[in-house]
């Protein structure tokens, strides 16, 4: 398995007005799903026009560029990839022109049989410009479009070949489609906006465009989205769903509703359950902003211990998580966060974060809190220890980097320098999400993968069925 792995945001809109400005707005709303590049493809009678660039939406897709696009249907993408794959060549939507016309694809997820499938296509004479798994998706779809000329048939065949996670917004000439992989790893939903329809990674975008949420795209479903209606087609289903638990824990916006569960509500429930499972005798509960905030509120409500904001976050600072070097990551934490001395001095506190991956962030923050005079620092974490890599679209790839890899909770506590450390249990997390265990992907916390990953333990037998 190689190639850049993407955890991104996708959108497609069809309406009776120019959709380019709304595509750009939507990408700003789902900017948290990817900050490395952004792009929009719009179709009109003149054909397909695409604007992509590296950087935040406001820089990659400024008004001067977006105002040159005009069409009633289009797709957009924000990208978040691992370090080392920042080339604008990998920016999406990816487009191709073939005998049947044009295709533009926006992909969120990771294709786990990428290497094997790419080898097969290379051997058959297909050429590739990038090492992105999304390009492979484009090539597979184009092959079947050339073969069948029918988008639905082509997409069904594509789904039979692809393994792993994919939420796709696809534009084939002027027809817009949403496709979700049979396990439903990544979110995708449909709504009504501007007298037309939208497919988008997160429902918060539909609210922000003053639209109406209709429903989630079902795992394994293909939806053709038109201005006045949408048509559902059976793609492929799998007996077990495997929604990524990390979408609720960390990745998605708190105001989004994913597969029927509001993200904020899940995070608050996590905090409440954490308070029950790992109580602490302290003066206050403090979040690590922003991702630990809802978890901390839940902890404070359940424990009846006051909630305080003890960190000032620099909202203009860069993300620390993807910096390649440990020293740089540590330095970046102090640029990003500073304790509020009057709040923390002389206090015993629980600090709540959504997850610990490498442990860099918390180690540094605890050091800063002690320097600011904190008396006791107890850590509570909204997800169980991350022990296994994600192959389905979250940037947690290197087992050897995980602080919980091969260590006890006590050993981790010592490394990060906390007075006590408590993680939510796997059962507690399942209870908070409120879905049965066999509808969730928990691979990063239990090492059991929903699909076949060479060298890893497989959790479900594939029972794929193309007639649902």
76 DSSP β-pair partners: 11, 40
Q: How far is CA 270 from CA 277, 308, 395, in A?
A: 10, 18, 22
Q: In terms of CB distance, is 36 or 224 closer to ligand AMP?
A: 36
**Min separation Cβ 54 and ligand AMP, Å:** 18
Of 197-205, 307-315, 354-362, 441-449, the window that binds ligand AMP (rule: CB under 6 A) is 354-362
Render 19-51 in DSSP notation, one character per residue. -HHHHHHHHHHTGGG--SEEEEEEEETTEEEEE
**Min separation Cβ 170 and ligand AMP, Å:** 26
**Min separation Cβ 318 and ligand AMP, Å:** 12
Class of residue 425 by CB neighbours under 10 A (exposed 0-12, middle 13-18, buried 19+): middle
**Min separation Cβ 319 and ligand AMP, Å:** 6
Q: Does 81 bind ligand AMP (CB under 6 A)?
A: no
- Number of residues lying near ligand AMP (CB under 6 A): 16
Of 164-172, 205-213, 349-357, 433-441, the window that binds ligand AMP (rule: CB under 6 A) is 349-357
* Separation CA 365–CA 363 (nearest Å): 6
Structure tokens at 65: 């560029």
Q: Does 367 bind ligand AMP (CB under 6 A)?
A: no
Instruction: Out of 8, 278, 441, 444, pick the active-site residue.
Output: 8
Cβ atoms within 10 Å of 334's Cβ, excluding its own: 15
What is the DSSP-derived secondary structure letter of residue 247? I
Of 221, 182, 248, 241, give the one whose Cα is nearest residue 459. 241
Render 338-385 in DSSP notation, one character per residue. EE-HHHHTT-EEEEEES--SSSHHHHHHHHHHHHTT-SEEEEEESS--
**Min separation Cβ 185 and ligand AMP, Å:** 14
Cβ atoms within 10 Å of 28's Cβ, excluding its own: 15
8 noted as active-site residue: yes
Structure tokens at 99: 């005998």
Of 47-55, 220-228, 268-276, 388-396, the window that binds ligand AMP (rule: CB under 6 A) is 388-396
Q: Does 360 bind ligand AMP (CB under 6 A)?
A: yes
Of 116, 206, 113, give the one whose Cα is nearest residue 166. 113
Interface residue with ligand AMP, options 177, 248, 250, 392 (CB under 6 A): 250
Q: In terms of CB distance, is 33 or 139 closer to ligand AMP?
A: 33
Question: What percent of the chain is helix, strand and coil (3-state, nearest 5)?
Answer: 30, 25, 40
Of 30-38, 127-135, 177-185, 359-367, the window that binds ligand AMP (rule: CB under 6 A) is 359-367
Interface residue with ligand AMP, options 237, 280, 285, 356 (CB under 6 A): 356
Q: Does 181 bind ligand AMP (CB under 6 A)?
A: no
Q: Does 383 bind ligand AMP (CB under 6 A)?
A: no
**Min separation Cβ 197 and ligand AMP, Å:** 31
Structure tokens at 417: 């320098």
Of 97-105, 201-209, 352-360, 422-430, the window that binds ligand AMP (rule: CB under 6 A) is 352-360
Q: Does 355 bind ligand AMP (CB under 6 A)?
A: yes
Interface residue with ligand AMP, options 237, 285, 357, 368 (CB under 6 A): 357
Q: Does 359 bind ligand AMP (CB under 6 A)?
A: yes
**Min separation Cβ 4 and ligand AMP, Å:** 14
* Separation CA 181–CA 10 (nearest Å): 14
Cβ atoms within 10 Å of 152's Cβ, excluding its own: 16
Q: Which positions ≥6 away from 74 have C-beta within 8 Å?
A: 12, 13, 19, 20, 23, 40, 41, 42, 43, 104, 171
Torsion of CA 441, 445, 447, 450, to 10 degrees: 0
Interface residue with ligand AMP, options 103, 396, 404, 412 (CB under 6 A): 396
Q: SS3 of 334, please?
A: helix
* Separation CA 94–CA 329 (nearest Å): 31
Q: Does 374 bind ligand AMP (CB under 6 A)?
A: no
Interface residue with ligand AMP, options 128, 148, 321, 367 (CB under 6 A): 321
What is the DSSP-derived secondary structure letter of residue 305? P
Q: Does 286 bind ligand AMP (CB under 6 A)?
A: no
360-371 vs 326-336: helix crossing angle, rounded to 10: 50
Q: In terms of CB distance, is 114 or 311 closer to ligand AMP?
A: 311
Q: In terms of CB distance, is 102 or 320 closer to ligand AMP?
A: 320
Q: In terms of CB distance, is 197 or 363 closer to ligand AMP?
A: 363
Q: Does 35 bind ligand AMP (CB under 6 A)?
A: no
**Min separation Cβ 304 and ligand AMP, Å:** 25
Interface residue with ligand AMP, options 361, 378, 422, 459 (CB under 6 A): 361
Residues forming contacts to ligand AMP in the complex (CB under 6 A) are 250, 288, 291, 321, 353-361, 394-396
Residues serving a catalytic function are 8
């Amino acid at each position: 398995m190689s190639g850049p792995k993407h955890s991104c945001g996708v959108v497609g809109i069809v309406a009776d007005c120019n959709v380019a400005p709304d595509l750009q707005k939507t990408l700003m709303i789902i900017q948290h799903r990817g900050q490395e590049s952004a792009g929009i493809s719009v179709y009109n009678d003149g054909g397909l026009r695409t604007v992509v660039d590296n950087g935040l939406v406001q820089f990659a897709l400024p008004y001067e560029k977006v105002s040159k696009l005009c069409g009633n249907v289009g797709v957009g993408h924000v990208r978040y990839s691992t370090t080392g794959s920042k080339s604008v060549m990998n920016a999406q939507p990816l487009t191709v022109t073939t005998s049947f016309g044009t295709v533009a694809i926006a992909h969120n997820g990771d294709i786990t049989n990428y290497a094997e499938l790419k080898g097969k296509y290379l051997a058959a004479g297909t050429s590739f410009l990038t090492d992105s798994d999304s390009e492979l998706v484009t090539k597979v779809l184009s092959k079947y479009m050339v073969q069948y000329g029918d988008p639905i048939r082509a997409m069904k065949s594509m789904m039979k070949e692809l393994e792993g996670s994919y939420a796709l917004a696809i534009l084939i000439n002027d027809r817009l489609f949403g496709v979700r992989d049979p396990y439903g790893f990544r979110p995708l939903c449909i709504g009504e906006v501007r007298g037309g329809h939208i497919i988008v990674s997160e429902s918060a975008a539909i609210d922000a465009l003053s639209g109406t949420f209709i429903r989630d795209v079902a795992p394994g479903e293909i939806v053709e989205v038109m201005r006045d209606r949408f048509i559902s087609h059976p793609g492929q289903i799998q007996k077990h769903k495997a929604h990524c638990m990390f979408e609720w824990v960390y990745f998605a916006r708190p105001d989004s509703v994913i597969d029927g569960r509001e993200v904020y509500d899940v995070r608050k429930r996590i905090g409440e359950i954490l308070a029950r499972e790992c109580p602490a005798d302290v003066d206050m509960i403090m979040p690590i902003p922003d991702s630990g905030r809802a978890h901390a509120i839940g902890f404070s409500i359940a424990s009846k211990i006051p909630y305080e904001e003890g960190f000032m976050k620099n909202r203009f600072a860069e993300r620390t998580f993807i910096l390649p070097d440990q020293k740089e990551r540590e330095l970046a934490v102090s640029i990003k966060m500073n304790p509020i001395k009057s709040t923390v001095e002389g206090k015993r506190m629980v600090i709540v974060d959504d997850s610990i991956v490498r442990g860099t962030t918390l180690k540094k923050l605890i050091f800063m809190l002690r320097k600011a005079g904190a008396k006791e620092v107890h850590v509570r974490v909204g997800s169980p220890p991350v022990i296994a890599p994600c192959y389905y679209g979250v940037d947690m790839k290197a087992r050897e980097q995980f602080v919980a890899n091969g260590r006890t909770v006590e050993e981790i506590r010592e490394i990060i320098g906390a007075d006590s450390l408590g993680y939510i249990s796997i059962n507690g997390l399942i209870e908070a999400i409120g879905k049965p265990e066999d509808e969730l992907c928990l691979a990063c916390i239990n090492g059991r993968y929903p699909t076949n990953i060479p060298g890893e333990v497989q959790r479900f037998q594939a029972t794929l069925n193309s007639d649902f």
